[in-house]
Amino acid sequence: MEQELTKEELKAYKKAKEQLTDARKESFGKWLRTKGWKHLIGWVMIVYSVFPIVYVISGSFADADQFTSTLFTSFTTDNYRDLFADEYRPFGAWFVNTLFISGTAAIGSVFLSALAAYAFSRLRFTGRRAGLLTLILVQMFPQLLALVAIYALLVNIGNVFPFLGIGSQLALIMVYLGGALGANTYLMYGFFNTIPKELDEAAKIDGATHTQIFYGIILRLAAPILAVIGLLAFIGTSSDFVLANIILTKPESKTLAVGLYMYVSDQFGQRWTIFAAGAVLAAVPIVALFLYLQKYIVSGLTGGAVKG
């Protein structure tokens, strides 16, 4: 096209083009000031949070002596093989234990806190206000504070009911359920209050009982908060170290968090690369659960599910 232009036209065209790039340069400065800095911060944050993950993945494929060197300098799958080969450190069993304990605790705490939140939100009874206040107060103290008490309690319970004593996974689940109830109930209580009471009443007029209202209406509409609480409970329990460490005593009943720690706590043979491989695998169920629950969380937020 440029061939058909006369010289003067060509000159004018070039000049216009230069001006345009000038304007672009100028507006880049403006873009940086108005929007660009946000992108910048965003990218810094992304790198900041992705780096450890990349580092762990790199480490999990590194030779044992190359762990601290630069990323992806060596590649081997030995770490993953060794992870499952060690019979004193049964990774497979830990994995299953973690899924079982965290899964049960997550489902249990979602269910229990939903029950409690329904009562606080929909029923009027004496002690309701006091109960709510107690919930806030109790959940302000970290469970760690109760460590000694929990230990002593479990030892004594174990004398009578061995299946609920120290060393039992069921005992650990029970402790998790109790600990998470306060905060979760409060979160869910707030959410239930946003579901219009008229929905309950419309159902009640048609003869629905509290049980039917709870399962048929409230739980269905509260799906987003159930998903969030289930996810948080799963992540929280599967990364818990302190309680799991004192309650689970036998190697084959340990969880991933406790078990994997054995690889790096060994004074003479810290096996960081194997630990990294274990950590990568341990993250898989959490990521999978998140991806699975995501649609409930998102659809709940966008679907206007709680609009009366």
Burial zone of 106 (CB within 10 Å; 0-12 exposed, 13-18 middle, 19+ buried): buried
Rounded distance between C-alpha atoms, residue 291 and residue 262, angstroms: 30
Q: Least distance from C-beta 216 to another protein, angstroms?
A: 8
Nearer to another protein, 82 or 200 (CB): 200
Contact in structure between 248 and 169 (CB atoms under 8 Å): yes
Q: Least distance from C-beta 220 to another protein, angstroms?
A: 5
Nearer to another protein, 56 or 219 (CB): 219
Q: Least distance from C-beta 39 to another protein, angstroms?
A: 35
Cα dist from 278 to 61, 83, 189, 242, 267, whole Å: 11, 7, 37, 19, 19
Q: Least distance from C-beta 303 to another protein, angstroms?
A: 8
Nearer to another protein, 177 or 218 (CB): 218
Cα-based angle 205, 211, 214 (whole degrees, multiple of 5): 85
Q: Least distance from C-beta 210 to another protein, angstroms?
A: 12
Nearer to another protein, 186 or 192 (CB): 192
Contact in structure between 175 and 245 (CB atoms under 8 Å): no
Residues near another protein, by CB under 8 A:
196, 198-199, 201-208, 212, 217, 220-221, 303-308
Q: Which residue has the tokens 């409930």?
A: 296
Q: Least distance from C-beta 228 to another protein, angstroms?
A: 18
Q: What are the start-end ranges of the H helices in the chain?
A: 7-31, 37-60, 78-85, 91-122, 128-140, 147-160, 169-193, 197-205, 210-213, 219-221, 223-238, 242-247, 256-265, 272-302
Nearer to another protein, 64 or 306 (CB): 306
Nearer to another protein, 230 or 300 (CB): 300
Cα dist from 4 to 13, 119, 202, whole Å: 12, 82, 77
